Amino acid sequence: PFLQCLCAICGKKAGTLLSPFPGVGFSSSMGADEVKALAALMTYKCALVDVPFGGAMAGVRIDPSKYSEQELEKIMRHFTVEMARKGFIGPGIDVLAPDVNTGEREMSWIADTYTHTLGYRDINTQACVTGKPISQGGIHGRHSATGRGVLHGVESYITNTEYMDCTGLSPGLPGKTFVLQGFGKVGLHTMKYLHESGAHCICVGEKDGAIYNPRGIDPKELEDYKQGHGTIAGFPKAEFYDSRILEVPCNVLIPAAIKKQLTGQNAPQVQAKIIAEAANGPTTPAAHEIFLQRNILVIPDVYVNAGGVTLSFFEWLKNLNHVSYSRLSFKYGWDSSYHLLQSVRHSLEQWFGKSRGEIPIISSPQFQARVTGASEKDIVYSGLAYIMEQSAKQIMTVAVRYNLGLDQRTAAYLCALEKVFTVYNEAGFTY
């Protein structure tokens, strides 16, 4: 009786191959309209980054904080059985992925339930869900994928001289300041990757408060503090900030919390030059128009937070192939790098002679790391970087074609719609 499932399917073939690829989350405020909107967003997101899935969204309308782990497991297993009976779950039907308030634990429950019920005779049952623990067929790097995708999305624009000239910023991430709203799994990893790239987070906001340090906040120290105290409030290396964090002066603003945070009311006070929408739907249409008028570059959610669905696609492929990335090629890659170094040394010795003995070949730390071979995480991160970079180029090309200027949201949707149209047009419209 306490289980209220909401499932919407929108756009059966935004990509080229399969049925929808929905996220599933817990939220007491979830409604049918929101689920439909997120399903549509997922449709265009998958098309934009060339992930061959359609788009869908599913959810369980409860407040997870009011239930024990055992009760949540029972709810999720019940949810899985009901969805499977209706034909909404399966490795070749709808492949679920984590969303708000769900993660590896919940995805593991779904996979186990499906495996031991309707999928008990299917060798590909692990592929019915992504975002699983590694031991259950998950993929290395999935947990931080959305945050890493945000990094690549921001890099694609902030290194572009033309777009930076429009915003008044110098190209490059080093030295840039950013403000982060939301320190969950997406916000945390976004903060880590931007910090590693030389940017400085000066303000972090959560639902229970915000902290500010103009000299920068270390993400690892803040993560450790939150794990120990359950909140970012009281973090000793930053001061409490009691004003509106979305209006803090910075170079990049990253809303990574919930929808409708940037509105027509607060958009005129936003002092960032770039807004990277790590959350789904954080900007209202009214705010979007104001940002365009103020020459503020908005990197839209339909593109910049697509890292999660991209890594989910990689995990799905891994499950169907029944072999992890790099397992078959790791030793070959290591041997190839070793023989390359030997060849270089041999060539130098032949040219200069061996009168002074063997010529040592000293590899750089970067090359030494590569010599050991590519891990699964290396391979999927490389694939993610390539997809995000290529998608950004496609959006920029469409923006130029239609003379859209800084309106990257419209360019992104046009790019996605063109791909959806191409699929339907070439497949035929009879059915």
13's CB contacts (< 8 A; 6+ apart) are 19, 54, 420, 423, 424, 427
Find the radius of gyration of the CA atoms of the chain. Answer: 23
Residue 36, annotated as binding a ligand: no
**Three-state SS at 96:** strand
Backbone φ, ψ for residue 98 (5° rounding): -70, 150
Nearest to 334 by CA among 368, 296, 294, 291: 368
Both tokens assigned to 310: 């991209």
Query: Can you say how many angstroms the Cα of residue 104 is from the centroid of all Cα atoms in its chain?
Result: 15
DSSP assignment of 282-318 equals -B-HHHHHHHHHTT-EEE-HHHHTTHHHHHHHHHHHH
Category of 11 on φ-ψ map: left (φ > 0), alpha (ψ -120 to 50) or beta: left
226 is in an annotated binding site: no
Output the CA torsion sign for 241, 243, 248, 252.
positive
Cα 63 to Cα 29: distance, rounded to the nearest angstrom: 8
Nearby residues of 368 by Cβ (< 8 Å), 6 or more positions away: none
Return the number of other C-beta atoms located less than 10 Å from residue 127's C-beta.
25
Q: Is 312 flagged in the annotation as binding?
A: yes
As given in the structure block, the two tokens for residue 292 are 């365009």
d(CA 22, CA 38): 9
Binding site listing: 45, 146, 312
- State the binding site for NAD(+): 146
Which residue ranges are tagged as binding site for substrate? Answer: 45, 312
